[in-house]
């Protein structure tokens, strides 16, 4: 695995096709212990609220000015964030394992400032990341809403949702603090920061939600016309090909969505 999914793997082992046991399942006990260990090692404060109140709580925490809040989803979302954060310190779950060097937040942010946007983003994406499928401009573009507080299987808010508050007032720095990215096709944290900084400056984009593999941005300014929307959509595709390839289908459909919604959704398989 290119990122650690130990908790999810253990969970799958003892939930698939299992009837309720009369005695505690050792695998379940290990899974719970691992979750507790990773949560205890996570250094940032966590606020837990009913799922239906997540955005209002996010607004309240942000207004307090004590840091940047980010909604990380339900229990599995929080566990995934803690897992990703500690991926270079396997000794937390396996005493005696060799930990890898952990890049400091300040270094990730400094590196992000050396990335020339959008040129370096297109270079990093390579040929596959610069030629999305094309099609007609849709008459009824999709509208995007926040997804991280919702169970996508049934469309209902999670019973409870967790909000992490990070020691920054700048949302584009969130991936640096969470050490988020750098697996599969998902850009590394420094690239995440560079992209989000550019979109914050140009569109007032703020990172509101992030979970295992999804980012939700809310923007203050939409693209003004189709030409601008198409240029932005190409940046979005270089950043996250799944927005088109496993999402809306064409670059025109993505551009139309960017013009129709204040929310932007990115997902990496």
Q: What is the pLDDT of residues 142-185, one digit of tens each?
A: 889 999 999 988 999 999 999 999 999 999 999 999 999 999 99
Query: Does residue 230 surpass a pLDDT of 90?
Result: yes
Average pLDDT over residues 12-18: 41
Query: Does residue 23 surpass a pLDDT of 60?
Result: yes
Q: By mean pLDDT, which of 8-17, 230-239, 260-269 is the weakest? A: 8-17
List the beta strands (DSSP E) in the chain: 46-50, 68-73, 150-151, 156-157, 160-166, 206-210, 214-218, 263-267
> What confidence tier does 4 reach under pLDDT thresholds 50, 70, 90?
very low
Average pLDDT over residues 195-214: 97
- Count of residues in the chain: 269
Q: What is the pLDDT of residues 122-152, one digit of tens each?
A: 999 997 778 899 999 999 998 899 999 999 8
Q: Angle between the 189-203 and 226-239 helix axes, to the nearest 10 degrees? A: 170
**Token pair 């897992």 in the structure block, residue:** 83
List the beta strands (DSSP E) in 89-245: 150-151, 156-157, 160-166, 206-210, 214-218
What distance in Å separates the CA atoms of residue 137 and residue 251, rounded to the nearest whole number?
9
- Report pLDDT for 1: 38
| Pick from 221, 209, 219, 129: nearest CA to 175 | 209
Asked whether 237 and 126 are in contact (CB, 8 A), the reply is: no
- Report pLDDT for 25: 76
Query: Does residue 242 surpass a pLDDT of 50?
Result: yes
Number of neighbouring beta carbons within 10 Å of residue 56: 11
Query: Does residue 232 surpass a pLDDT of 50?
Result: yes
Percent of the chain with pLDDT over 70: 91
> What confidence tier does 220 reach under pLDDT thresholds 50, 70, 90?
very high
- Report pLDDT for 24: 66
What distance in Å separates the CA atoms of residue 86 and residue 84, rounded to the nearest whole number?
6
Secondary structure (DSSP) of 130-162: S-----PPPSS-------TTEETTTTEEPSEEE
| Pick from 222, 229, 235, 225: nearest CA to 255 | 229
What distance in Å separates the CA atoms of residue 135 and residue 142, rounded to the nearest whole number?
15
Phi, psi of 163 (to 5 degrees): -125, 120
> What confidence tier does 269 reach under pLDDT thresholds 50, 70, 90?
confident
Q: What is the pLDDT of residues 103-119, one digit of tens each?
A: 999 999 999 999 999 99
Query: 156: which 2 tokens?
Result: 């209902």
- Report pLDDT for 152: 87
Query: Does residue 20 surpass a pLDDT of 70?
Result: no
Average pLDDT, the chain: 91
- Report pLDDT for 209: 98
- Report pLDDT for 73: 97
- Report pLDDT for 266: 97
Q: Is 217 helix (H, G, I), strand (E, B) or coil?
A: strand
> What confidence tier does 22 reach under pLDDT thresholds 50, 70, 90?
low
Which helix (H) or strand (E) segment is 23 a member of?
none
Q: Is 103 helix (H, G, I), strand (E, B) or coil?
A: coil
């Amino acid at each position: 695995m290119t990122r650690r999914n130990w908790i999810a793997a253990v969970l799958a082992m003892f939930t698939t096709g299992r009837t309720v046991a009369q005695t505690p399942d050792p695998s379940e006990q290990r899974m719970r212990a691992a979750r507790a260990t990773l949560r205890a090692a996570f250094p940032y404060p966590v606020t837990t609220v009913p799922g239906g109140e997540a955005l209002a709580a996010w607004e309240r925490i942000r207004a307090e000015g004590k840091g940047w809040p980010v909604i990380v989803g339900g229990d599995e979302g929080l566990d995934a964030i803690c897992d990703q954060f500690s991926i270079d310190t396997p000794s937390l779950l396996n005493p005696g394992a060799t930990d890898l060097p952990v890049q400091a937040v300040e270094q990730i942010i400094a590196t992000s400032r050396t990335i020339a946007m959008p040129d370096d983003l297109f270079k990093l994406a390579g040929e596959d990341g610069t030629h999305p499928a094309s099609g007609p401009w849709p008459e009824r573009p999709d509208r995007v809403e926040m997804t991280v507080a919702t169970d996508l299987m049934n469309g209902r808010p999670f019973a409870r949702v967790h909000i992490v508050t990070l020691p920054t007032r700048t949302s584009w720095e969130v991936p640096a603090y969470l050490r988020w990215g750098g697996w599969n096709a998902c850009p590394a944290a420094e690239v995440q920061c560079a992209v989000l900084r550019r979109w914050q400056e140009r569109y007032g984009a703020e990172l509101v939600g992030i979970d295992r593999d999804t980012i939700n941005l809310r923007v203050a300014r939409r693209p003004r016309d189709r030409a601008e929307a198409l240029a932005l959509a190409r940046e979005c595709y270089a950043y996250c090909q799944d927005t088109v390839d496993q999402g809306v289908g064409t670059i025109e459909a993505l551009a139309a969505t960017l013009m129709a919604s204040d929310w932007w959704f990115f997902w990496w398989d």
